[in-house]
Amino acid sequence: MRKLRNNKGFTIIEVMIALLITGIVSGAALNFYIKMHNQTLTQEEISEMQQNLRASLDEIIKALRKAGYKTGTHTAFRINGDSLYVFYQETQPIDTVLYFLADLSSAELAAYADLPTRLRPHKLMKQVNSAGPVVFSEHINNLTFTAHSSSNVEVAVSVQPSRPDVDFSENEGYRIYSASERVNIRNLIL
Amino acid sequence: MRTMKVSNERGSALFICISIIAMLSIIGILAVKTSQTETDLSFNKVHSDKAFYIAEAGAKRAVLAIVNDPTWDSGYADIAFCGGVYTVTVEDSTADSTLSDSIRVTATGAINEAFATIEIVMAPDINYPFLHAMFGDDAVDIRNSMYINSYNSDSGSYLGTRIDSGADVGSNGTIDVYNGALVGGDVASSLAGGVTVVNPSDVTGTISDSAPEQTLEEIPQSEYDWAELNNDNLTGMSGSYTYDPATYSLISSGNVVLSSGVYYFSDFTLKNSASLTLAPGAEVTIYVTGSLEVKNSGDINGGGDPVDLLIYTQGDFVLKNSGTFYGVIYGPNSTADLRNSGDFYGAIVANDIVAHNSAQFHYDRSLSSFSRGTSNDFAVVAWKEL
């Protein structure tokens, strides 16, 4: 009986105040959560871009380093715009590996229809000897090869994320990360 | 009342606080994990790059060791270098017969579980002793209307292939070109200030005193010893001559005919209208340990291919007042004295060359591809990362 008498419940004012406080606190928490979530997604996107960038650059550089391996008087490499031929000897007298950027198909491009040309992604293709080209990496913004001398080549790669980040104000929300490395072609400076 | 109130406090605020703190901690831990993964990824990149350069350091060390001593094949095992280790193995044809005379160096660099392996192939340099018309290690002295040009016995006759270029004169010491001599090629010495050309228009090519130094390969004594034991002196020679088998000395004032083979002489003297002819199609190599003299003679291998008469000499060489000479002479320690002679077709390598009052010297450009085996100098010929 005493216990029951003591259970007085809450007045409407108390409930309103409690709801208001809960609303403010959970609103702030939700806001914080959404921000954190977005940031996590962005971070993941960035780290994926960086991996993509590293993997693409490393692949090309590793191939380029062995250019001219046992090829005798044959050219060690050839740069043709954004494509690079590397010649070496492995399975046949002259093996060739070709790296080039391929445009997206028109169906794939539909997703990027509103983007200016410079922000449309490409695929990095790798073709070994007479085998068909295979996709090595995607979301490549640009790829350039610059021969600084007959035995020194600079490879520059730019990548972009798979989807835009609404909080990033430039480039329609697409971050572009670039990296370049200069390679001394060992077989040409023995 | 006091006890009542206490029993009613159920601790919900504490529970909420702990829940919020736990949630925040989870978010924090996740964020830390994400950045931890990225840190690991960049460390992986740093480590694989380091492993590559550590491997290259090991490979370069081994390459230097082989350049210094081509027989070195012990390699390196787990040598600490810049925080990592490298291991180098050296293999030659005993380990892999496809290597032939080359050496394979495989270097592996390791650091923090990242690895890189580099494979380098080294091969001995090939000797091309006759890249110059005349090469005098110490000195070349050209005077008095000496005329030097080149032709190619592989592509045609002298008259059909002669040009006033390609006949280079070289030295690691001094080169003097005096008194209307004409050199149809480059004049190059590695000795700064060592080149004197009185009239630069007498040289059709470039004149340089900063050419790279050339190392003249010594003919090993073992090769002379081999020739002493395996020569064709008694079986291959015919014609008119006086030969002493005990001392290996030959003197002639008539015509000496040589068939294909190796000949070994202490002194070799042709004088007073003596001549030397090769049997048809013969290829002759002559080793001379003493003096080689051709004086007032007729033709030596007249009209033949210079490469068919190959003379290695340890002593001095004199060609005076003679007819034409078709041959090549290699004597890195010899003095070559060419005076008042007829035409010389071929090439000369000596320590000291004096060419005076001679008629003409015609370098046979086909000799530039004449190789004398491989040297003991190994050089890197191929490089790849595995």
pLDDT tens by residue, B191-246: 999 898 888 888 899 999 988 888 888 888 999 999 999 999 888 888 888 888 88
Probe site for chain B from A69, A77, A86 (most B CB atoms < 10 A) = A69
For position B2, what pLDDT does the model report? 47
**Which residues of chain B are within 8 Å of residue A70 when distances are taken between CB atoms?**
121, 381-382
Average predicted confidence (pLDDT) for chain A:
88
Compare all CA atoms of chain B with the CA of A66 and give the residue at the minimum distance: B384
Share of chain A above pLDDT 70, in %: 96
**Which residues of chain A are within 8 Å of residue B4 when distances are taken between CB atoms?**
2, 6
For position B1, what pLDDT does the model report? 46
pLDDT score of B377 more than 50: yes
CB atoms A33 and B27 under 8 Å? yes
Instruction: Give Cα B353 distance to the centre of its chain.
Output: 23
DSSP B121-147: EEEEEEP-TTSSSEEEEEEEEEESS-E
Interchain contact B4–A (C-beta under 8 A): yes
For position B202, what pLDDT does the model report? 85
Query: Strand B344-356 and strand B134-143: pairing?
Result: parallel
What is residue B4's three-state secondary structure?
Answer: helix
Distance CA B318, CA A108 (A): 84
CB atoms A40 and B4 under 8 Å? no
Q: Which of A33, A47, A69 sits opposite B384 (nearest CB)?
A: A69
pLDDT score of B289 more than 80: yes
Q: Could you give the ipTM of this predicted complex?
A: 0.80
Q: How confident is the model at residue B7 (pLDDT cuts 50, 70, 90)?
A: low
Query: Strand B76-81 and strand B84-91: pairing?
Result: antiparallel
DSSP B148-209: EEEE-TTTS-HHHH-BSSS--EEESSEEEE-TT-EESS-EEESSTT-EEESSGGGBSS-EES
DSSP chain A: -HHHHH-----HHHHHHHHHHHHHHHHHHHHHHHHHHHHHHHHHHHHHHHHHHHHHHHHHHHHHHTTTTT-TTS-SEEEETTEEEEEE-SSSSSEEEEEEEEEPPHHHHGGGTTS-GGG--EEEEEEETTSPPEEEEEEEEEEEEEEEETTEEEEEEEE--SS--TT--SGGG---EEEEEEEE-GGG--
Compare all CA atoms of chain B with the CA of A48 and give the residue at the minimum distance: B38
CB atoms B384 and A50 under 8 Å? no
**Which residues of chain A are within 8 Å of residue B121 when distances are taken between CB atoms?**
70
| Each residue's pLDDT tens digit, A65-123 | 989 988 888 888 999 888 999 999 988 889 999 999 998 888 888 888 888 888 889 99
For position A158, what pLDDT does the model report? 95
**Which residues of chain A are within 8 Å of residue B20 when distances are taken between CB atoms?**
29
Average predicted confidence (pLDDT) for chain B:
87
Compare all CA atoms of chain B with the CA of A41 and give the residue at the minimum distance: B34
B227 secondary structure, DSSP code: H
